[in-house]
Every structure is written in structure tokens, then in C-alpha cells.
Amino acid sequence: MDVFCRCDGCPGCSEEGNELGGACSNPPQKYVNRIQRRDGEVKTHDGFRKFCKPCLRAREKARQASNRAARSGGDGASGSARGGYDAVSANRPRIVLFGDSITEQSFGEGGFGAALANRYARRADVILRGYSGYNTRMAVGLLPYVFPLDDPNPPVFVTVCFGANDAVKPGSTMESKQGCPSEEYRNNLRAILEHLHKLSPRPRVLVMTPPPLDAIAWKKTCDDRGYHADPEPDRSMTVTESYARVALEAAEVFSAVNNRAKVTGLNLFIGLQRGAPPGAPGGWEKAFLSDGLHLTPGGYRRAFELMVPVIEGKLGLALAASEDPSDFPPFLDVPNDRATAKDAIDAFAAKRMKTDP
């Protein structure tokens, strides 16, 4: 099985995976791509779509109707802006990275966002939804906008990484701006997971703990940038560690209560403290933290190293690159001729979207 079928207990297309509503027990559509290279060698790649043939056929009819309406100007949209092969969810899945500034900066040098986009190039679109300074209280307010429940193409995988701001020390200036009590933090994480669990199909979810910090270095950053005038650091390892435990517990409890939920936690707080290169000057604090709180390129690379085994192992997200691209054919299989290049791509797309039994 590959990512195109996301029904639990696959193979099969149940009400869990049928975005069109109702129960469906039909087997998913199996595909086999056979590509004959110019040297005569034939390569094959097979797997399952995430919808059975009747569901995929109904989905394609709905897409075509939407395109016809758009071309006729019925909704004021242009035909090129709606639908299309590359916009079909069964073609290219989506990954959403949801979190605070740790996530927002993850497309920088060494960032796990950029690394995931590179790892799953042409197999998934990695979408950044990171919000600097946000805590989980604010994140709950974002849910209907970032993850609308009527989304016809919900993500196959979501990372949730909040807590660095929730864990502001009680009594600090930033408590009133960013702090969130640990019990509310737990409830907010549960609300986020419950919302994601309502998407159809349900995404796999990785709850990432806040990373460790260097309180003294972060205090200097706050002083230098004029964030506040507190005489003591506004964050501490002790408080952040307690929030990290809550995040892991929230993921574990949610997965246990919802026994079909593919939700798990990742302990960045511990993982980043254990992965510094041997003999690194200043230890993990200097190797992995840029300002006492946010990550260096090395810190992001370490986070990515921790993420991949969980994503592809424990959560079973089968998106790693195979020899042949999944969305469109390799360039060597497209004739470099103006008259036939488009025809070859059109034929490939038509075959991929073929819905006849």
C-alpha cells in the first residue's frame, strides 16, 4: 500500500476514507505504471489510490462539473484557476507544518520544512503554517482557517509544534502576552487533535514538543532587542520540560482514546540535548540554538533526523522518493518535440485519472 490509500485497515475504502460521504466497502483502485525507457527497459510502479473506483469516478465527475462551471463564468472564476489534474488530491498529497516560530523558520537553512520538501519533492506539497509568538490558545483560533473541515483535499500529514511560548514563566512580563497555563495547554492540544481528527480522510499527526533552551542566552537576546526589562529570564528549562511532558502525554492519550488515530509525539526537548556533535564548543546550546530559544541550521538538521524515522516508521507515511516521479513522467520519457511533448504529458495525466473499471 502507498499514500494514495489512506483508509485504516487498508486495503479497502471505508467511511473513514470516503470524502464523498456515506459508507463504502469497495476495494481501492490499484494502479500500475509501466514506463518503457528509450533503451527498451520497462519499469513498473504500482500501489493503491486512496479511493475505490466508484468514489474516484464520482470525484472526477464533480471536478469536471466544477471546471465547466468555471469556464462558463458561472462563479466568476477562470477555468485555469480551478480544478485540473495537478490540483486533484489523489495526485499530490499535502503536508502542513503547524506551529510557532520554530515552525515558521523551518524553511531557512537546514530547516526541517525545507528538508521535508526536498525529501518528498514531486510527491507531496509541504505547506508552512508557522506563526511566530503564537501559543496554543491562539492556535485553536486558527483551526477553522488553516484546516477547514469542508476541505476537499485535507493534508495527509500534519506537524503540531507549540509550547515554546505557552511555557513563559509565571510572573514574567511576557506571561500576559504569550503564557498559557499547562492544563489549558493540554486542553488546547487536545482541541487541535480533535479538530484534525474530524477531517476526512484523517491526517497522520506528529506532536512535537518545544525544544530545550538556554535561558541566559535568551535573556541576553531579550535585553538586546528590547523585548522586556525583566531582571530574570522569562523562560526556564524546568518549565519548558514540564510542557514537553504535557505535549507527549496529550498525543499518547489522544491516540489511546481514539484507537484508530495515527497520532504520536516527538520529544525534541530531549532529542536536541543528546545530538550535539562530539566536542562541539558550548555543547548542544551553541550547536543547536541561535539565540537561546530558536534553532540554528544544525538544530534544524538534528530535528529533521529525529522526525523522519517517526514519520516514515511509526506513522507509516509512505512518501519517500522512489526511482520514478509520481505526479508527471520523468523528462526522458517526454519527447523533446513541440508537437508531441504536450500529447505525451496529456496521455500520462489521462491514464493517471482514468476512472473506468
Q: List the domain range (segments joined by +) for residue 58.
A: 1-91
| Residue 339 vs residue 66, higher pLDDT | 339
SS3 sequence, 56-72? HHHHHHHHHHHHHHHHC
pLDDT of residue 12: 42
Whether 71 and 153 map to the same domain: the answer is: no
Catalytic residues: 101
Count the neighbouring beta carbons within 10 Å of the beta carbon of residue 137: 19
Is 333 part of a structural domain of the chain?
A: no
Q: How long is the chain?
A: 357
Number of structural domains, the chain? 2
Say if residue 325 is preceded by a cis peptide, omega within 30 of 0.
no
Q: Is 324 among the domain residues?
A: no
Instruction: Say what the pLDDT of residue 11 is.
Output: 42
Which band of pLDDT confidence, cut at 50, 70 and 90, is reported for residue 347?
confident
CATH code at 240? 3.40.50.1110
Q: Do 19 and 70 fall into the same domain?
A: yes
* Per-residue pLDDT, 331: 85
% of residues, the chain, pLDDT over 70: 71
pTM of the model: 0.75
49 pLDDT band, cuts 50/70/90, is low
Q: Is residue 49 part of a domain?
A: yes
- Average pLDDT (175-184) is 97
- At residue 237, does pLDDT exceed 70? yes
Q: Are the beta carbons of 49 and 11 closer than 8 angstroms? A: no
Say if residue 45 is in the same domain as residue 164.
no
Distance (Å, whole) CA 135 – CA 141: 10
Domain boundary among 34, 68, 91: 91
Does 45 share its domain with 123? no
Q: Do residues 153 and 232 both lie within one domain?
A: yes
Same domain, 230 and 265: yes
Q: Is residue 74 part of a domain?
A: yes
The mean pLDDT value for 251-265 works out to 92
pLDDT classification of 91: cutoffs 50, 70, 90: low
Domain boundary residue, one of 59, 91, 123 = 91
pLDDT range class, residue 351, cuts 50, 70, 90: confident
One domain for residues 235 and 139: yes
pLDDT given for residue 88 in this prediction:
45
Q: What is the pLDDT of residue 260?
A: 73
pLDDT at position 178 over 60: yes
The pLDDT assigned to 350 comes to: 76
**Pair 119, 206 in one domain:** yes
Per-residue CA distances from 298 to 5, 81, 108, 189, 302 (Å): 35, 39, 11, 28, 6
For residues 207 and 79, membership in a common domain is answered with no
- Residue 119's pLDDT band, with cuts at 50, 70 and 90, is very high
- Higher-pLDDT residue of 327 and 284 is 284
Q: Is residue 335 part of a domain?
A: no
Q: What are phi and psi of 63, to 5 degrees?
A: -65, -45
**How high is the pLDDT of residue 234?**
96
**Does any domain span residue 354?**
no
* pLDDT number for residue 27: 57
Q: Do 140 and 5 fall into the same domain?
A: no
| 327 domain-assigned | no
Closest by CA to 282, choosing from 209, 224, 211, 214, is 214
Secondary structure of residue 303 in the 3-state scheme: helix
Residue at a domain's end among 91, 111, 140 = 91
What pLDDT is attached to residue 250?
98
* pLDDT at residue 16, as a whole number: 46
Please indicate, yes or no, whether residues 30 and 125 belong to a single structural domain of this protein: no
Residue 320 lies in a domain: no
The larger pLDDT score, comparing residue 74 to residue 82, is at: 74
Identity of the highest mean pLDDT range in 42-51, 83-92, 111-120: 111-120
54, 147: one domain: no
